[in-house]
Chain A
């Protein structure tokens, strides 16, 4: 336990000393934020509030970049080997990645809320408990995804290619950049198989439409993200390699496919019921209703 804590502290310290971190974890998310709030939402407080969910989801999902790259670098440079001769365990190492990332992501998200308040005069932040829970579980689950990427790739280049391949559908098919409601039906159907879609939609549901933590939509998103996080984290402990030249066993690669199961099932069910798409559509439509300045808190089913 103490090994895990000291490692977490080291990871936080090292990350703060890294200029790449400053760019990917601070400047880029804030860039997205101002793009969404200033350009997409044209600084209209109600619309900024609408886009707050997606922009925070982007910050949360971005976790997996730095995590995978950081771990692969540690392995490639033989840093992990040095830890391997100490009593440090693979789960100490992996859990410290998740927690350090969490501690580093949270302030960025908090500042995004503050910016919304200060620069765009947003006063409506919806249900902050739901939002916090989604942010917490979302950060942990996408960080775990990063650990799996680190486990299945052998070199930094491979890692970056896989990261790109994951990142693009994640941001374009989930509603994080283009609102789900405006995407073609086929694309939306595909998006329903992605964890990102539920994070984006329910964060929006929480901050814009006041969805409570116990509302079925939020609970479903929290539950499926949590199950997915546990599966991916478990997988990353199974696939963890200390040595740069160690190979991943073939059967272990099969396990990677297993982590897709929760959202495969959820996607099939959602494609039948259309719950999430309907939710996203309702929130989007409410933007065009000239409201009494209050967001559609009542639109909750």
Chain B
């Protein structure tokens, strides 16, 4: 698609001998929320920072709003907004000052007052950055990403390190931006975040895209089924489990048996029967509807969360 607002083709980035990004390709369309989902160290942040013009790629081609982030970095920076990972503001900068300062760098600006209101920071307008809570800092970071009314937004791990309640606040903000048809590229290692917020997701592992599609499609293609996770008192071969009635797939992940099934009741019955016959005992059993985590497990044999 030649007219995608954001194009990444065969992107490669090395740090010394380590290949952090190994041939990543994807496109993001205008008005879409696109997620890079993967464990820490998968190359998500590096990819995003290359698109923002903060890092130089070692191979491949990228284009953002029609600009090459390396060659046209100045023009590009007027068009993008970003909430970076591992960043900060001066301790003694006040909230409103930060918004005004960053707005002043751009030709096109949004009213800082309105952003303050929208991100629930009105009462904090004169508070020093160092005195904000984690959630307030993150809300400010998102507000600052919008000061120039950008064409593309980059949110790198927007909820990392926040407690669940604050995380939901951030979700609300991103969902509102999604309704406004903002183009957003975000990274996350939270499955629920990707499923809830993203129109399309690229699952990234070891610097490569291992699956790409809408969360619904991705889940449909993975064993397509309910996940049954069991822990047993004695080891069992996954091949045997796989052959039981109602079981579509079974594999060992971190000592637990992850079983996929399209007919969960039959599967459970047959598992329990089999275990009884073997003199094995069920320690725990969990049933979950399929998630992107299952896609990840299927592709890599590992869990997303470490």
Footprint of B on A, CB under 8 Å?
Answer: 2-3, 6-7, 10, 13-14, 17-18, 74, 77-79, 81-82, 84-88, 242-243
Contact = CB atoms under 8 A, between A and B. Distances in A.
B77 interface: yes
Given A14-B93, A79-B89, A85 B53 contact: yes
A94 to B, nearest CB: 16
17 contacts: A3-B105, A6-B101, A6-B104, A14-B90, A14-B92, A14-B93, A78-B86, A79-B87, A81-B86, A82-B87, A85-B54, A86-B77, A86-B105, A87-B105, A87-B106, A242-B54, A243-B54
Contacts of A17: 92
B104 A3 contact: yes
B74 interface: yes
B52 interface: yes
Contact of B88 (A82, A84, A85): A82
B119 interface: no
Interface residues of B, number: 23
B77 A85 contact: yes
Given A81-B54, A85-B77, A87-B78, A10 B101 contact: yes
Given A10-B101, A79-B87, A87 B92 contact: no
Interface in B57-99: 74, 77-78, 80, 82, 84, 86-90, 92-93, 97
A88 B78 CA distance: 10
Given A2-B104, A79-B89, 14 more contacts: A3-B105, A6-B104, A10-B97, A13-B97, A74-B90, A78-B88, A79-B88, A85-B52, A85-B53, A85-B54, A85-B80, A87-B77, A87-B78, A87-B106
Contact of A86 (B89, B92, B93, B106): B106
B26 interface: no
A22 to B, nearest CB: 13
Nearest to B74: A87
Contact of A10 (B87, B93, B106): B93
Interface string B119-139: 000000000000000000000
A88 B90 CA distance: 16
A289 to B, nearest CB: 52
Contacts of A6: 101, 104-105
A88 B105 contact: yes
A227 to B, nearest CB: 30
Contacts of A10: 90, 93, 97, 101
Contacts of B171: none
B207 to A, nearest CB: 18
Q: Is the interface of B mostly helix, strand, loop or mixed?
A: loop
Chief secondary structure at chain A's binding surface: helix
B95 to A, nearest CB: 14
Nearest to A85: B82
A82 B102 CA distance: 10
A6 B89 CA distance: 15
A88 B103 CA distance: 11
A211 to B, nearest CB: 41
A85 B84 contact: yes
A242 B56 CA distance: 13
Which 5 A/B pairs are nearest by Cβ-Cβ distance?
A17-B92, A78-B87, A77-B88, A86-B105, A6-B104
A17 B126 CA distance: 14
A18 B86 CA distance: 23
Nearest to B73: A87
Contacts of A14: 90, 92-93
Contacts of A86: 77, 102, 105-106
A242 B52 CA distance: 14
A13 B101 CA distance: 12
Centre residue among B82, B93, B105, B106 by max chain A CB count within 10 A: B105
A178 B18 CA distance: 54
A243 B80 CA distance: 19
B89 A81 contact: no
Contacts of B84: 78, 81-82, 85
Contacts of B90: 10, 14, 74, 79
A72 B82 CA distance: 23
A79 B90 CA distance: 7
Point out which of A18, A84, A85, A242 has the most chain B C-beta atoms below 10 A from its C-beta. A85
A18 B130 CA distance: 13
Contacts of A85: 52-54, 77, 80, 82, 84
Contacts of B54: 81, 84-85, 242-243
Contacts of A18: 92
Nearest to B80: A85
Nearest to A89: B74
A6 B104 CA distance: 7
A227 B89 CA distance: 34
Nearest to B144: A82
A2 B88 CA distance: 23
Nearest to B104: A6
Contact of A82 (B53, B74, B89, B97): B89
Nearest to A246: B55
A203 to B, nearest CB: 33
Nearest to A88: B105
A256 B74 CA distance: 28
A82 B87 CA distance: 6
Contacts of A81: 54, 84, 86-87
Contacts of B78: 87
A79 B130 CA distance: 13
